[in-house]
Structure 1
């Protein structure tokens, strides 16, 4: 892969399993032999905790927020934590002030891009886990990656949340003259109901050009999260591994195709 691929996992609707999708996608890419950098932009620090780095969430400065404000004033390598499957830029309690702090900076949507440009030379893929709301922090992820992985529940409320997300992305594209592409839609925590079946059909109809991945509700996914790992690093066999593996393969194939000279 030429340069790092950048992906952000986002949906402004809370409770869709966004962090679980992000961690397991990163685990799948690692399983394919990729060097992965995982960036937890969520001020709640769910991924930081779910990857066994709770102490980093309460660490003293410099933190990720300091790097976003001025990456030249921080040794960025000090922000990177080791994990058996990936390297991690952890979230921190300071990130709760990120939106208001960034709003006072010039070009506030571009700060993460500058940080990743410095860090990504050691990695094949960067996976960014976004907060469950729209604002400057999510703007930074969208601007820096330009590639969306969208978790959504197979329930009717997802229709409105996806419409709002794409309207928001369209405005950001116009403001910054960029193109942000949806790369995968992940129907998450699917249950065996007629309502879920109807929503899966709606996803296919509404976004026919975006690959749809079906993740069934599994307690094993929660156990892996509680153990600070993706499903690829636990001894238990989880049938959803194949879904995340397929997603990782498809994302890499798309990138390879786009890099082939015309």
Structure 2
């Protein structure tokens, strides 16, 4: 299949619905007929839980932690990948809480995820990495491995500072590794249209990111219910009006990565 499109979903500010965006974008790509590998790089394991794989979080070694921190165990990644009805998943694990200090000691500390993905990525159209909500070695690994970022944000003033911190970090990574990280879009998440500040921030974000797509996802109960059922909202509720947004993100990503037309499954948006 060749080299996949690789993308991380990243914002070091917690509570922005990062995992929700990541799962639903992955689900939308799958609905367009794409083969997706979802990597839960967050030691908290929210995506692992929301995809119905909480048992993997407590599994014995080898786990993602071992594959990421021990070069001799990289090959075990093929045994860790789990099948989900919409995508394949590399689940997080409780041992990942020790990954930050362990990676600090490693040679080529920011390149370990990239080396790990070399073992499995050729079977997929997309590799989508859900990042932890903080700046550190795991975030560095995600940015280096994918060199593409989709940024979830809230429609509130705290997002301005979060953008600044993220872009400062991205710039440092680009300089350190002589790479270019591409912004593939911003997803303004959980918008409450009743709040004036939300509308003002949506306008600010659209103006600030005039050269990349900005999508707006409004608060919907179906989105949270889908996560409780271990699937994307597209799989859970084909009638949800926000499906159209996630499917548009997927179509736009296909265009940006030059993947052409997909064999779209029957999806009602």
TM-score where L is the length of structure 1 = 0.96
Q: Which runs of 5+ in 2 are unaligned?
A: 261-269
In structure 2, the partner of 1:17 is 17
1:2 positional shift: 5.3
**Residue 72 of structure 1, CA deviation:** 3.9
What's the offset of the Cα at 1:257?
7.8
Provide Cα deviations, 1:46-95, integer angstroms capped at 9, x if missing partner.
00000000000000000101111234424221110110000000000000
Alpha-carbon shift at residue 236 of structure 1 (Å): 5.3
Match of 2:192 in 1: 191
Count of matched residue pairs: 258
Deviation digits for residues 88-117 of structure 1, max 9, x if unmatched?
000000000000011111010000001111
2:15 aligns to what SS in structure 1? Answer: coil
Matches of 2:228 and 2:8 in 1, distance apart?
22
For residues 128 and 92 of structure 1, the distance between their equivalents in structure 2, rounded to whole angstroms, comes to 15
1:232 and 2:240 correspond: no
Which region of structure 1 is more displaced relative to structure 2, 15-24 or 202-211? Answer: 202-211
Range with greater deviation from structure 2 (194-203 or 85-94) = 194-203
User: 2:69, 2:99 within 8 Å by CA — same for their partners in 1?
Assistant: no
RMSD value over aligned CA atoms?
Answer: 1.3
Match status 1:35 vs 2:61: no
Whole-Å Cα distance in 2 between the matches of residues 41 and 71 of structure 1?
17
Q: Which residue of 2 aligns with 1:94?
A: 95
Matches for 1:114-129 after TM superposition, within 5 Å:
114-129=115-130
Task: Quote the residue 1:149 is aligned against.
Answer: 150
Partner of 1:103: 104
User: What is the rounded CA distance, in whole Å, between the counterparts of 2:212 and 2:2 in structure 1?
Assistant: 23
* CA distances 1:30-55 after superposition (whole Å, capped 9, x unpaired): 00001100000000000000000000
Segments of 4+ moved more than 3 angstroms: none
Deviation string for 1:207-228 (max 9, x for gaps)? Answer: 1111000000111100000000
Structure 1: unaligned runs, 5 residues or longer: none
Residue 256 of structure 1: SS of its match in structure 2?
coil
- More off after superposition, 173-182 vs 73-82: 73-82
Give the 3-state SS of the residue equivalent to 2:118 in structure 1.
helix
Q: Secondary structure of the equivalent of 2:44?
A: coil
Give the Cα–Cα distance (whole angstroms) in 1 for the partners of residues 167 and 46 of structure 2. 24
CA distance in 2: counterparts of 1:219 and 1:71, whole angstroms: 43
1:214 pairs with one of 207, 213, 216: 216
Partner residue of 1:44?
Answer: 44
Structure 2 residue aligned with 1:223: 225
